[in-house]
Amino acid sequence: MLAFAGFTLVVATLFGLYVAVFAYAVEDMFFNGLLEREANEQLQHHAQTGAWKAPRESWMQVIESATQLPDSIASTLAREPRRREFPGSDGRHYHLQRLQPDAAAEPAWLLAEVSQLLVVRPQRAGLFQLLAWSGVAVITLALLLGAWLAGRTTAPLSRLAQLVDNTGPDHLPAVHAQRFADDEVGVLARGLEALIIRIRAFVIREREFTRDASHELRTPLAVIRGTTERLARDPSLSPAARQGLSQIHQSALQLEQTISMLLALAREQALPATGEANRLLPVIERVVVEQAPLLDDKQIELDIDVPFAANSTLPLAVLQVLLANLIGNAFAHTAAGTIRVAAEAEQLRISNPGDGISDQALDAFSKGANSGGFGLGLAIVQRLCEQHGIALDIRHHDGLTSVAFPLMPAPATS
């Protein structure tokens, strides 16, 4: 808008200058034309009589010698012999025409004092005021016209922006592209409408999948776990059958844990933080009992250093998934030694003997040599932490691998 107004100001100023120059030029041409006509008559009369006659106009006079020119015109003419217009004292203004009867004769001068005949100079102040007010009027009109054109041009885009503002999976806007003109904004509206229709279908399929997967996958796994636990209590099982049954139970446990994490990540938004503090020790104890089959008679000592009063503001579902994966990962990848779960400085750290965790291990479908899973665990944990704004701290020092996360993290911003 300011650029439009600036351009209009420049155009109006140039137009005003052109008008002023044109007015002065027309006035000078008028006087010069009168002088030339009078000069021709004077030359004809001089050729016939050998003398100069009195000019037709009273404001003209014939000066036979340059030294007789008034108001220092002679000195100025000596410096600028081709000049025809001269200012005088007391507001007088002169136009000069050379009278040269023949090359050998002394030239005479036809002098016109035109101060009383000037039109532009007396009206100059009024002319500039008129141009100034006209410029202001034109600029104002240009601003109004520019604002109207800008509003008309951007109105469809603004309306489209209002439709998609504050869009979320629960309130996708209806664009109705047919309401927009067949122009660039219309093309954008049609593209957004098609995209929103696809997103709405994706959201519906996501919700249906998470709902169906939660029931259809967890129910058979619960049956498998329950059946293997009952069969494991049968004293008549052979050692080979008991080992196979233990592997089935561990695989079902790992699969149930993976499904829980995938379903947590399948949600478009992070679970809302309720602000309620969850008692930490009971959750850890429950997870340890659930993951105990992964120990498989290993020579492992579990050291839990968590005060009974320790709390966490993480959503309970997220806390359970994190603990199940991290503790289960420590159980599965530790051959012997001490696994320590400790609450320290408002964070929970899980340490176990190991070779450390490489950056590649944090990628999906990357697993360690001793892992029996599908290589999704740590990658899923990392994505879950990113989704909920949890800073995951992974370290390896003196043969110990430790993973820590804050018990009371700041709320996630996305």
Residue 369 has pLDDT above 50, yes or no: no
Q: Which residues of 66-84 are buried (b: 16+ CB within 10 A; e: fewer)?
A: beebebebeeebeeeeeee
CA proximity to 300, closest of 350, 349, 338, 333: 338
Give per-residue pLDDT as tens, 256-274: 767 776 776 776 555 555 5
Q: Which has the minimum average pLDDT: 133-137, 176-180, 290-294?
A: 176-180
pTM over 0.75: no
Inside any domain, residue 103? yes
Strand, helix or coil at 232?
Answer: helix
CA proximity to 325, closest of 389, 261, 262: 261
Q: What value does the mean pLDDT take over residues 346-359? A: 79
Inside any domain, residue 80? yes
Range of the domain at 120: 2-125
Question: According to the model, what pLDDT value does residue 179 have?
Answer: 72
Question: According to the model, what pLDDT value does residue 346 have?
Answer: 87
Tokens found for residue 89: 């004292």
Neighbour tally for 236: CB within 10 Å: 5
Better-predicted residue by pLDDT, 308 or 180: 308
Among residues 98, 125, 152, which one ends one of the domains? 125
CATH number at residue 333: 3.30.565.10
Task: Give the CA count within 13 Å in the CB-facing half-sphere of 101.
Answer: 16
Strands 299-305 and 336-344 turn out to be: parallel
Give per-residue pLDDT as tens, 65-89: 888 888 788 888 889 988 999 988 8
What is the number of structural domains in the chain? 2
Inside any domain, residue 59? yes
Question: According to the model, what pLDDT value does residue 370 have?
Answer: 46
Inside any domain, residue 151? no
389: left (phi over 0), alpha (psi -120 to 50) or beta: left
Where does the pLDDT of residue 294 fall: very low under 50, low under 70, confident under 90, or very high at 90 and above?
confident
Give per-residue pLDDT as tens, 391-404: 888 888 888 889 99
Inside any domain, residue 203? no
Amino acid identity of residue 27, one-letter, is: E
Among residues 73, 92, 125, which one ends one of the domains? 125
Question: According to the model, what pLDDT value does residue 212 have?
Answer: 82
Question: According to the model, what pLDDT value does residue 168 have?
Answer: 67
Inside any domain, residue 149? no
Among residues 107, 125, 143, which one ends one of the domains? 125
Inside any domain, residue 147? no
CA proximity to 403, closest of 412, 414, 387, 384: 384
Q: Which has the minimum average pLDDT: 177-186, 189-198, 266-275?
A: 266-275
Residue 276 has pLDDT above 50, yes or no: yes
Inside any domain, residue 362? yes
Question: According to the model, what pLDDT value does residue 270 have?
Answer: 56
